[in-house]
Amino acid sequence: MSDMIDYSIVPATHASQEFFWQALYYAAHMDEESGIQLASAKTDPALMPYVAGWGDHAGDIGFVAVMSNRSNLGAAWVRLMPNDWPLYRHVNSNIPELAIAVLPDYLGRGIGDRLLRTLIEAAGTLHRGIALSVRENNPARRLYERFGFRAVDRITNRVGGASFVMKLDLT
């Protein structure tokens, strides 16, 4: 496969929710867990709030990288999480959380960079900041730092490893 891919970044719609589940599977590194299937993201209580009912809540903003043949390559979205969300022990509950993933076959081609840039520009009109958690050894942490995200705490993640809570101020 050539490094050049013809794709565009388009606003997510309610119909994007199905692809968001697939993207969340990769964002949560479920593909690295033995025996975990794609559909598992939909039934994991720690992951369901990222996607369930997406587009129905004020402040839901997202984008999808789409090829000309309508194949999805990646997605990035933010949403306000439930008030008792664990991340809100580390950042204010009025800060939405970011989920972002590029499908494995398309990593390293700048798609995540474009998705994140587009999302940050759009989120700045509605939100004061964006929060995320990233595994300690995830190379995406450098991408987030390039965009101005800063670690605010170190936590134990869903699978018992170390992650950083990072925040970007948009004001």
Domain that residue 121 falls in = 7-128
Q: Tell me the per-residue pLDDT of 6-61, one tens digit each, with 9 for 90 and over.
A: 999 999 999 999 999 999 999 988 888 777 888 888 888 889 999 999 999 989 99
Domain membership of residue 37 (yes or no) is yes
DSSP H or E run through 114:
helix 111-123
| CA 138/CA 164 separation, integer angstroms | 10
Neighbours of 44 (CB within 10 A): 15
Residue 156 has pLDDT above 70, yes or no: yes
Pairing of strands 72-79, 97-102: antiparallel
Pairing of strands 7-11, 61-67: antiparallel
Quick one: pLDDT at residue 1? 41
Q: Is 149 left (phi over 0), alpha (psi -120 to 50) or beta?
A: beta
Quick one: tokens of 66?
Answer: 């789409």
Q: How many domains does the chain have?
A: 1
Domain membership of residue 161 (yes or no) is no
Domain membership of residue 160 (yes or no) is no
| CA 170/CA 153 separation, integer angstroms | 19
Quick one: pLDDT at residue 3? 65
Domain membership of residue 39 (yes or no) is yes
CATH of the domain at 105: 3.40.630.30
Q: Tell me the per-residue pLDDT of 116-146, one tens digit each, with 9 for 90 and over.
A: 999 999 999 999 999 999 999 899 999 999 9
Question: Do residues 20 and 77 touch, judged by C-beta distance below 8 A?
Answer: yes
Quick one: pLDDT at residue 2? 46
